[in-house]
Amino acid sequence: MKNLINDVAAEVPNRRRFLNRIALASAAVGALSTNKASAQASMITDVDILNFALNLEYLEAEFYTVATTGKSIDQIGIGVTGSGTPGATIGGAQVNFTSGSTNYSAIANEIAADERLHVSLIRGALTAAGAMPIARPAINLNALGVGFAGLTDFLQLARAFEDVGVTAYGGAAPLISDKAILGTAARIALAEGEHAAVVRYLVAQTSTPTTLLDGLDILPPPSGKNYFSLDANALTQVRTPGQVLYIVYGNQANARSGGFFPNGVNGTINTSSAGAAFVNQTVAIVTPSMLTTADTQVTLDATSSVSGNGTLTYAYSVAPGGLQPAILQNGATNPKAIIQFVKGAGTYNLLLTVTDSNKQTSTAPITLIYKPV
């Protein structure tokens, strides 16, 4: 890690010149012009972009560290102070990884260590360049109600974080003007790509259901067909910073807080745009799609589903591998259903199927875990 920081610092030995140089990166504003948040600052610099990435690295590092140790990153010695509004990490718990031919715990621990090093690397690179890293913002690891109940829970959230992280670096890279910073960011992006590939393979290997995040998302098996999240040109997808914030803020457009960041992120890049749109597709989207709850029933809502043509119909059904719930739905045109956990504590697997006017269908898996107090 120190070598990487030194590499960056060596390229910019005159810190005043470095800061002046990155201040000229106003072209980044034009690249962010599709994000309505571009008005939030008159100039976006390399420091701004690195601090934006640091928010996401804080989130990933906290997720994996809590999942593997039950502790937050500052409790094991990772720096979290800096500019902006500091916050604590809440939610999450140490995951009881199942044993078997694959050492899931070892993989999770290695990724956790990598993500902590990414936090320290970016903080060190900023400090070496004479800039102030942002503080860790408040993080809510329970934003989706999943991630820590077991291996399936963990893989569902890890898959989302890794795929979003790869696309975030892809979207930020063209905005970076300094080659040393760009080179370091590229190496972090490649590391995230290795993480994503392993996690996606484990998702497929364990038949873990996953749900589309937006119109750019590419699901691994069993919910999708692609082991790798690559487009038709065998390239990773790219998301703008605004599209990334749309996802981590809980699918909210033009927002400055929400989801995993209840008080928002720190730094000048802090406002979400609209999410990447689903184009000419019928897509089943249900909330919640993954939930651990102590309530005796849950209301599922598929209002956000997208129709490729005409009016949608909605059908909720029981999927294999879980307990049999009671499903209360008032007609096929009603996007909502009440799920009652009539068989007691345990896992309830369901499936939402939506159908448009051209009979094109889409499905979304639902995993509900009932844990009474």
Is the peptide bond preceding residue 288 cis, with omega within 30 degrees of 0?
yes
The CATH number of 290-370, from 2.60.40.10, 3.30.465.10, 2.60.40.2550, 2.30.30.60, is 2.60.40.10
DSSP single-letter state for residue 111: H
Q: What does the alpha-carbon distance between residue 348 and residue 354 come to, in Å, rounded to a whole number?
A: 20
**What average pLDDT score do residues 79-88 get?**
97
> Which phi and psi angles does 76 have, rounded to 5°?
-115, 20
Residue whose pair of structure tokens reads 């930020």 in the numeric block = 172
Is the peptide bond preceding residue 222 cis, with omega within 30 degrees of 0?
yes
Q: What does the alpha-carbon distance between residue 133 and residue 118 come to, in Å, rounded to a whole number?
A: 13
- Pairing of β 361-370 and β 290-293: parallel
Q: What does the alpha-carbon distance between residue 104 and residue 112 come to, in Å, rounded to a whole number?
A: 12
Contacts of 106 (CB under 8 A, 6+ apart): none
Q: What is the pLDDT of residue 279?
A: 82
What tens digit of pLDDT does each residue of 181-207 get? 899 899 999 999 999 999 999 999 998
The domain defined by 2-248 carries CATH number 3.90.1150.10? no
Q: How confident is the model at residue 13 (pLDDT cuts 50, 70, 90)?
A: very low
Q: What does the alpha-carbon distance between residue 84 and residue 349 come to, in Å, rounded to a whole number?
A: 42
Is pLDDT above 60 for 105?
A: yes
Please count the CA atoms within 13 angstroms of the CA of 74 that sit on its side-chain side: 16
Q: How confident is the model at residue 345 (pLDDT cuts 50, 70, 90)?
A: very high
> Which phi and psi angles does 92 have, rounded to 5°?
80, 170
Task: Calculate the dihedral angle through the C-alpha atoms of 197, 202, 208, 213, rounding to the nearest 10 degrees.
Answer: -20
Read off the amino acid at residue 340. Answer: Q
Closest CA to 181 of 45, 328, 81, 77: 45
Structural domain boundaries of the chain?
A: 2-248, 290-370
